[in-house]
Amino acid sequence: MLGAIAPRPIAFASTIDEAGNVNLSPFSFFNCFGSNPPVLIFSPARRVRDNTGKHTLDNVLETGEVVINIGNYALVEQMSLASTEYDKGVNEFVKAGLTPVASSLVKPPRVAEAPAAFECRVLEVKPIGDKGGAANLVICEALLLHVREEVLGANGKTIDPFKLDAVARLGGDWYLRGIPDSLFELPKPSRKGIGIDQLPVAIRTSTVLTGNNLARLGNTEVLPSPEEIQRFSQAPIYQYLAHKYQDNPGEKERQIHLLAQRFLEEGRVQEAWQALLVAELSK
């Protein structure tokens, strides 16, 4: 299950007990579940080995507060070290060499080195089962967000994923790093995209275009005009393919579909449509 449901973001949770002892530990059962109010949920599951609970769970039950710090690649080894099962009362900030900073609205400190940190009030702790591995859903309302300026984009309002350099949990000992080569943009679905079912049969059944390619075409609301299609038919690249494969219609279609695929991968959707529709009209 954990190998298949991946990658998972990591809640680097700092808590405090009633005696003032600080605890810091990462949990990959974590995500955000609403924006108004901002709701975060993480789960310090019961240990599979001996069915015991974790100090983080004890602390949120005692105090009702937590800071969810966001770890990135620069912190990943220290974050992993903080997951060590130290005895109660041992401060993982010290063990992992991280800097505690007093929070503004809650008692647990936040991690100074974290690119972002959410001060949270615990709304509810919902146990799901009582055996080893059982979940304990800690439902939190984020009261205050701290963001380091160096991870903000040029507009100063949103987080730049390249600067954040996020990490996520996979199965086993594997993690994922949000490095540039792993990142890609995907346009949101159009409200009135025509859908794959409305593509011409020759395009929909292409042996070249992938499901992703077809979906990008199906996300189009307005197809190229006849004038645009006519102009593309005079483009040097199309004229070259049309002449080279004039005696082999099947290969001509395949080459045009490869050209359209290249356009799609470069984000040039209208040009991909133009190439495909010129090919359809020339049959």
pLDDT of residue 47: 87
pLDDT at 50: 87
Q: What's 11-182's CATH class?
A: mainly beta
Report which of 277, 160, 176, 280 is spatially closest to residue 229, judged by C-alpha positions: 277
d(CA 82, CA 180): 27
Flag residues of the chain having pLDDT under 50.
none
Task: Report pLDDT digits (tens) over 23-56.
Answer: 999 999 999 999 999 999 999 998 888 887 899 9
Which DSSP state fits 106? Answer: S
CA distances from 216 to 181, 197, 244, 264, 269 (A): 21, 13, 28, 7, 8
Instruction: Write down the pLDDT at residue 52.
Output: 79
Q: What is the pLDDT of residue 266?
A: 92
CATH 2.30.110.10 location in the chain: 11-182
